[in-house]
Chains A and B, each alone.
Chain A
């Protein structure tokens, strides 16, 4: 339901997601950490390896380095009172670990905490 409350939540969610995007673009995990809940989880296959846990994500972002050509798109934003789902598709990934011109689809779930909308979970699919 798109009403004023929705728009406020939507904008706050976009702000949270921008931290993630900025951290990805610059290859700096400290920019994206505030977007994540302290107990956030993380799952996805990087090649054949199943990556679990936000330490893996943050370490990967730092090791990958800048990816300034990424093309992020918020494909969907669903808001249900205190929980939300965001699909973020990102084309043009590059970097020491990503390679070049890689496409990823990310599914984020967020929780509305007293300190704002926080990513509680990230699942990704690295397209071949």
Chain B
């Protein structure tokens, strides 16, 4: 079982999430599908077993209820789409950020299994950690994430999302990594290559650079 936050910090099942947001279960399920409500699933359990971190729901709600002018540039970069778009390019952009948010949520939760669906089965990773090169199957990332445990303070920034029809590149800056393996306050620059595979955007490669403190 992956590491969990202490009980008060999680909302278990749609019922609790809906009660917290003072809406119907139907509404919050719709919000997950169309407005990026950050809920998590444990992949080995039934599809409909969800939980949410209270702080993530709060952050999502805060951004959602602000007027556009009040949102700072930093917040806007991390803003999940409020309304679905019909613009063809933005549809792909949103699908890619959705995949990336799955990666981010799994990193926050310290759960490698949650991260797996964001990746193509043949995905690989490469990069340096303290002068040692790590290149190989993406399974190493999932093990590392689970071994590291929760990193609730990570602050991701999308520095670049470039889409060329069936392929894309995402440069993600991630600050305030923490955990058993990451240490106290580490920063990484990650470059992800994605492929539109059977209609879904999957990460095929992750290239990372851990910055010296």
Contact = CB atoms under 8 A, between A and B. Distances in A.
B207 A83 contact: yes
Nearest to A41: B124
Contacts, number: 92
A109 B191 contact: yes
B77 interface: no
Interface stretch (A10-18, A25-33, A74-82): A74-82
A113 B127 CA distance: 10
A91 to B, nearest CB: 14
Contacts of B191: 80, 83, 85, 109
A52 B164 CA distance: 18
Interface of B is mostly: strand
Contact of A52 (B122, B136, B160, B166): B122
Contacts of B4: none
Given A52-B122, A83-B127, A45 B136 contact: no
Contacts of B101: none
B195 interface: yes
B127 A111 contact: yes
Contacts of B193: 43, 107, 109, 121, 123
A55 B168 CA distance: 22
B122 to A, nearest CB: 6
A88 B165 CA distance: 15
Interface string B108-136: 00000000000010101011100001011
Contact of A82 (B128, B164, B169): B128
25 contacts: A37-B126, A39-B124, A39-B126, A39-B136, A41-B124, A41-B205, A43-B120, A81-B211, A83-B127, A83-B191, A83-B207, A87-B164, A105-B165, A107-B167, A107-B169, A109-B169, A109-B207, A111-B127, A120-B126, A120-B135, A120-B207, A123-B204, A124-B167, A125-B164, A125-B166
